[in-house]
Structures are given as structure tokens and as C-alpha cells.
Amino acid sequence: MADRFGPVTGPGEDDDEGACTDRGTTREEPIRVLVVDDHALFRRGLEIVLKQEEDIQVVGEAGDGAEAVDKAADLLPDIVLMDVRMPKRGGIEACTSIKEVAPSAKIIMLTISDEEADLYDAIKAGATGYLLKEISTDEVATAIRAVADGQSQISPSMASKLLTEFKSMIQRTDERRLVPAPRLTDRELEVLKLVATGMNNRDIAKELFISENTVKNHVRNILEKLQLHSRMEAVVYAMREKILEIR
């Protein structure tokens, strides 16, 4: 890992109390780390670097996500330092399983992937940190301490992408609020009302004297217009937007 990267950012890094410090932090027990990467030389290099830290102990290593889950269940590490893309089972997929077998473990993704999708998926899967491998060796230990102390750690360039996406999400939400509710036809409203009463497609067809396939088409059109995924979502949306009132 090169020393080209700037400081890793994370919430609360400027707090005087409870903040993570550099090497020399007093701890009753060392931070137990599981290193997961499909490159043995990289794992070995991390282990050598982290062995120099008195408050960090590498308790095990794994070469893929499947092995990482097994090792996490057996070793119960404090921190799992894991790559994103690995054979057999990737790091993001392994995150959820690791949180199940070792709930107290905190996961830091250490990867070359600067893909926004990987960042979002890792966070959704339970990762507390997302660092690029160009980070300096000293910053790895600092990030481990910070996450162990309850902070999150994201490389600055990735944090910037995350903030940009949040802004876009807020903007899209605001834009949707300004768009009028999609207009349903009279027949679609009839179908939606019957769906809301719990009728299936066959019963609706009998009630309206139309074919079951026609009912299916109406339901599909309703969902497409409302940009929803299920009949229940359509009913809830219709009631909330006062498209339809069920008495």
C-alpha cells in the first residue's frame, strides 16, 4: 500500500473525548483483527504492519468470503478487515453472514474498488468502514482503532461520492413531491377498489364482467403508473394520495 492517500475521515474525529488516538492508546485488551483478502502476500504484509501496533492483534486470516464467515464464527474478532471482490464469495456478500455469526464484529472493507455501487452495497450489508488500498499503512491502524471506538471510516473520495448520492436522493424525493399523482382511468379505479377489498383477479373479473387476463392487465398498468411493486403498495399509495377512499 502506498503512502499517497490523505487522512481517513470519519464522524467525531475532532472530538477530544472518546476519539481514536495514534499508537499508544491505552486499552485493557488488544483489538482482535481478522484479515480477509484473496492475495496471500497482501494478507502477510498487513499482518506484518499490524504486528507493530501494541494494541492490535491479528487473530486470523482468510482468503475469501466463505472462509471469512467460518473464521469469524470461530474467532469472534473485534474487527474484520476485508476485501470486496474475492473468489467463491465476495466481501459484501459475506458481510451479512459475518454479522449473524459474530454480531459484535465490525467490518472494514479494504479494497481497490472505487465503484459507488460497491460502497452503497457494503454499507447496506453492515460495513462500518470503506477504505481504498492506496491508503497509507499507518492509516490502516488508525482506521481500525477508530472503528473499534465506534466511529465509521470512509476514504475521503468515497465519502464525497456518498454525499453526492445523498443530495441526489433528496432532490429526487423533492421532485416526486412536485409531480401530481398519476391519473388512473375509471376502470383502473374500479379494479383498484376491488383489489383493496381483498378480491383476487378471478373474483374481480366476475364482478366487472371482464376476463381475468383483462384484470391482470389493469393491475399491471396500475402498478406501472404508480411505480410500485405489489397490489398492497398500490392500495396504500392510493389511500395516502387520496386517489381512492375506501369506506
> Per 3-state DSSP, what percentage of the chain is helix, strand, and coil (rounded to 5)?
50, 10, 40
**Mean pLDDT value of segment 62-86:** 94
- pTM: predicted TM-score of the whole model, two decimal places: 0.57
On whether the CB atoms of residues 141 and 53 are closer than 8 A, the answer is: yes
* Cβ neighbours of 247 (radius 10 Å): 2
Q: Supply the pLDDT for residue 97.
A: 93
The DSSP secondary structure of 150-214, one letter per residue, reads T--EE-HHHHHHHHHHHHHHHHHHHHHHHSPPPPPPHHHHHHHHHHHTT--HHHHHHHHT--HHH
Q: Supply the pLDDT for residue 171.
A: 62
Q: Residue 67 above 50 pLDDT?
A: yes
Compare 130 and 161 and report the one with higher pLDDT. Answer: 130
Q: 35 pairs with which residues across the strands?
A: 61, 81
Sequence-distant (6+) residues with CB within 8 A of 54 are 23, 24, 30
CA-to-CA separations, 196 to 127, 192, 200, 233, in angstroms, rounded? 40, 6, 10, 10
Q: Which H or E run includes 80?
A: strand 79-82
Taking the C-alpha atoms of residue 124 and residue 118, their distance in angstroms, rounded to an integer, is: 10
pLDDT tens by residue, 3-44: 433 344 444 444 444 434 444 445 679 999 999 999 999 999
Q: Residue 104 above 70 pLDDT?
A: yes
Q: Supply the pLDDT for residue 25.
A: 46
* Cβ neighbours of 66 (radius 10 Å): 17
Q: Domains in the chain, please, with CATH?
A: 31-157 (3.40.50.2300), 186-240 (1.10.10.10)
**Mean pLDDT value of segment 89-111:** 92
Compare 120 and 92 and report the one with higher pLDDT. Answer: 92
Q: Residue 164 above 70 pLDDT?
A: no
Of all residues in the chain, the percent with pLDDT exceeding 90 is 40
Coil vs helix vs strand at 112: coil
Q: Residue 105 above 60 pLDDT?
A: yes
Q: Supply the pLDDT for residue 114.
A: 84
Q: Supply the pLDDT for residue 135.
A: 83
Q: For 68-77, 101-110, 219-228, which range has the lowest pLDDT when averaged over its residues?
A: 219-228
Confidence of residue 138 (pLDDT cuts 50, 70, 90): confident
